[in-house]
Structure formats: structure tokens, C-alpha cells
Amino acid sequence: MKKITRRDFNKLIGTFGMVSTLKTIGMGPTILLAAERRVVVVGGGFGGATAAKYLRMMDPNLRVTLVEPKRSYFTCPFSNLMLGGLKKMGELTHSYEKLQKKYGVNVVHASATRIDASSKNVILQDGQNLPYDRLIVAPGVDMRYDQIENYSVDDIKDIPHAWKGETSTLLLLQQLEAMSDGGKVLICPPALPYRCPPGPYERASLIAHYLKKHKPRSKILIFDAKEQFPKQALFSSGWENLYGHMIEWFNRSAGGLILKVDAKGMAVETEFGRETGDVINLIPAQWAGKIARDSGLVDKSGWCPVDQLTFESKLHKGIHVIGDSAIAGSMPKSGFSASNQAKITASAIIALLNEKAPTSATMANTCYSFLSQDYAISVSAIYQLSGKEIVSVKGSGGISSLDADLSVRRAEAIYAQGWYDSITNDMFG
């Protein structure tokens, strides 16, 4: 039986000691004790925030600094519910306060501009240096504006991606609210890999949920760079049952690929011609966050190759890349994957700092998608290291049953909310 023993208690006292020490950081040069190990985490999302918390829980003697410019975190998961009118922005926004106060993470609200891998320093925008023994880079994704003709970052003021951050999501919400009944919404998902593979189809569902209620003569057209999409059979049958013919999907061969953008004219060009929309949600191709690209952590794919046991970069020793930016075998770019990778990486870093061999562990991912308020589906997988590659365990995982009745869909909607409550609490609570 595991109980709080004297040894653990000393560790916990150590935690409190750390908290008071941390308050003095940033107030001038500190003479560091040889035994004091420093881990810096860049990026406070599902990967970074979880890593910072678990590093401190696993080893209260570590000095952990989390660098994140934003004061609060808006989750991409569940943001489609906001577009469907089912969640408010505040419900999806989380504070970093407990990471600092309860777990003793030194949260620095600043932008990291550069990593000096040779001297092991993270350089902040104000010129401050953060020295580290091990670094975790978890910057998520950046949008690519160089893959479609006539498309640029300026266009997101008219055709928001709503794939990252609250500003863009709010803009898309306002546009949907301003649209008149009978309007046409275009959703244009990219080719894989990108953040949250089933996300565009959940989005189509929940926008349909909103339109059916308020603007029932409207249409949603999906122009997809892919031939198929995740959980397709489940989405298709759900769409038919819930929304009739409101949602129409065109795959790549059916003219789904976007070749050119005309944001001012509110139109896109496909192989089959010009399509106008009253609201256009173009979700562009993505690559690793800027700091990873600027620090030589990406390969020619635009993503970060890592050792898939420890998530240590293959390009720079001492730097671990987790979450959406990392190439993690078969694991999708999801909040769940990032959270799981964060914990495995935290334990690997502690092993490495203590000159022990990191151990491999089974990982998991479950992605829920809502089709309406009380109708959700899921895809799940269990992952193991096979040689040097993360692969899914044969005979496990898969999607929700195709012939399940509505009570199962309702149960999955309840568990989807349960998942959100648990994982955000696991990051920030």
C-alpha cells in the first residue's frame, strides 16, 4: 500500500521550500547549487503545461520554468462547441495560477525568441537568458500561408482558420452569427498531418447544429484536400440523421483541393472552378511552431524528428520536443497525445538527469467528436514502441460502433465532457 510516508513528506516539505526559492528568481543573478537541476518548458498548452506540472510532481527538487506569453490558455478542444453555441469562451479558458502556486512551477509570461543549444539557454524577448539542463519545446502548430496561391496571413481577418487561439475562433463565431438564413458556409480542411484530424468534421456538425436551429435554409460545403477523413462513416450517418442534406462533402478527386484564395471576393478556387461563400473557414496546412523552426529542430517536412522513447530531438541534444510539433510515429496531433507524451517525457528527463535509463511505456489517445449537443463519437488507440517507432497495438482501439443506438451516442457526449474536465484539470488543476 502506498501512503504518504515520512520520506514523501520530506519531499513535500521540499516542494514548499522550492516555492519560496522560486519567488526570488528573476530578481538578479542567483548562485546555483550544483544539485539544483533546471528544466525549462517552452509553450503552455496540453504538452507544455502537463510536462511542467508532472516534472514538479515527480521530482519536487527540480527547478521548472514554464515560458508562455499568454496569461490564460484557450483550448482548441471543445472550441467547436463554442461555434455551435454550446459553450462560452470563459468555459474554455484556463489559468496558469495553480501551476505556479500549487506546484511551484516558475511561470514566466514572455515570448521565447531563440534557443542556444550549445550554451543551453533559452533567450526571451526582453533579452533575459534562462539556462537549462534539459529543455522541453512544446510550441504547437503554426499555420502555413505558403501552400495556396494568393493566400496570406492578412486574409485571416476575412477568412479565419479558427484553428488556434481565441481571436480567430471568435471571429468565425461572429461571422456565423451575422450570416443570414440561406447562407453558404465553406469549410476547407488540409491534407494530413495537421492538428486534430477529426476536428473539421466535428466543426461542420456543430455549425450545422447552430444553423438548423437559427438559419435552417443554410448550407455547409466541405472542400477537402483529402480523399477520406477520420471517423467518416460515423460522421456521414450522423449528418444524415441529424441534419439531412445540410452538409455536403467534396473529396480531393471531386474538386476538394483549394488551389487559390480570393479573400476580398469571399471565394476559393478549386480544380472544378470558383466557389463563393458567405462564411469561409479555410484551415491551412500546418508545421511546427516558430521557435522549433527557428532553432533548427525541424527537418524538411516542417516537423520535429525525435527519439520516440524520450522525445529528445534527433537534431539537438538536451532538447525534447513534444505535442503537435513532434513526429511521434502513429500518434495523431491531439491534446491527448501531447498530454501523454508530456508525462512520458517528464519521466524520461528525470531518469536522464539521474543518469538512469529511461523506460518505455504504453501510451494512449482518445479523440471525442460531437455531432450535436448529446451525440458524440470517438476514436481510440493504444501505442507502443516497436523498435524506434511508436505504433498502435494490433487488435486494440478503433472507432465507436457504427450501429450503436442513440443512448450510446449520448453516453459518449457525457464522457467527452468528462474527458475535457479531467484533462484540463490534469494540466492546470
Partner 1 sequence: MTIKKNLIKMLLIFWFVMVIGSLFGGFSLLAQAEDQKGEMLALSCTSCHGTHGLSPGAMPTLFGKSLKYLEQSMQEFKYDQRAATVMQRIAKGYTLEEIRLISEYFASLYIEKSVK
Spell out a b/e string for 157-172, using b for 16 or more CB atoms within 10 Å of the CB, else e: ebbbbbbbbbebbbbb
Q: Which three cell numbers stand for residue 246?
A: 445540410
Q: How far is the CB of 57 from partner 1 (least distance, A)?
A: 5
Between 315 and 382, name the residue whose CB sits nearer to partner 1. 382
Closest to 228 (Cα-Cα) out of 252, 205, 200: 252
Helix axes 199-214, 166-178, angle to 10 degrees: 30
Q: Could you list the beta-strand ranges (E) of 68-217.
A: 72-74, 93-95, 106-108, 112-116, 121-124, 129-131, 134-137, 141-143, 184-188
* Alpha-carbon gap, residue 420 to 74, rounded angstroms: 13
Site string for partner 1, 76-115 (x = CB under 8 A): --------------------------xxx-----------
Query: Which residue in 182, 216, 265, 418 binds partner 1 (CB under 8 A)?
Result: 418
C-alpha–C-alpha distance, residues 421 and 385, integer Å: 29
Does 429 interact with partner 1 (rule: CB under 8 A)? yes
The Cα–Cα gap between 14 and 61 comes to: 7
Q: Are strands 375-386 and 398-399 parallel, antiparallel or unpaired?
A: antiparallel
Which lies closer to partner 1 via its Cβ, residue 191 or residue 414?
414
Strands 129-131 and 121-124: antiparallel
Which C-beta is closer to partner 1: that of 84 or that of 104?
Answer: 104
Interface residue with partner 1, options 54, 73, 235, 311 (CB under 8 A) = 54
Least gap, CB of 338 to partner 1 (angstroms): 10
Min. distance of Cβ 24 from partner 1 in angstroms?
19
Report the nearest approach of partner 1 to the CB of residue 330 (Å): 12
* 128, 167, 359, 386: residue in contact with partner 1 (rule CB under 8 A): 359
Contact set for partner 1, span 335-354 (CB under 8 A): 336, 339-340, 343-344, 347, 350
User: Binding residue for partner 1 (CB under 8 A) from 57, 171, 254, 266?
Assistant: 57
The residue within the footprint of partner 1, chosen from 133, 269, 278, 426 (CB under 8 A), is 426
**From candidates 117, 361, 385, 391, binder to partner 1 by CB under 8 A:** 361
- Orientation angle between helical segments 406-428 and 335-353, nearest 10 degrees: 40
Q: Is 238 in the site for partner 1 (CB under 8 A)?
A: no
Name the 3-class secondary structure at 372.
strand
Q: How far apart are CA 99 and CA 73, in angstroms?
A: 12
Spatial contact of 405 and 238, defined as CB atoms under 8 Å apart: no
Interface mask toward partner 1 for 294-333; x: CB under 8 A: ----------------------------------------
CB 206 within 8 A of CB 241: no
* Residue 197 CB, nearest approach to partner 1 (Å): 17
Would you tell me which residues interact with partner 1 (CB under 8 A)? 1-4, 7-8, 11-12, 15, 54, 56-59, 102-104, 336, 339-340, 343-344, 347, 350, 359, 361-364, 366, 378, 380-382, 392-393, 395-398, 400, 408, 411-412, 414-415, 417-423, 425-426, 429
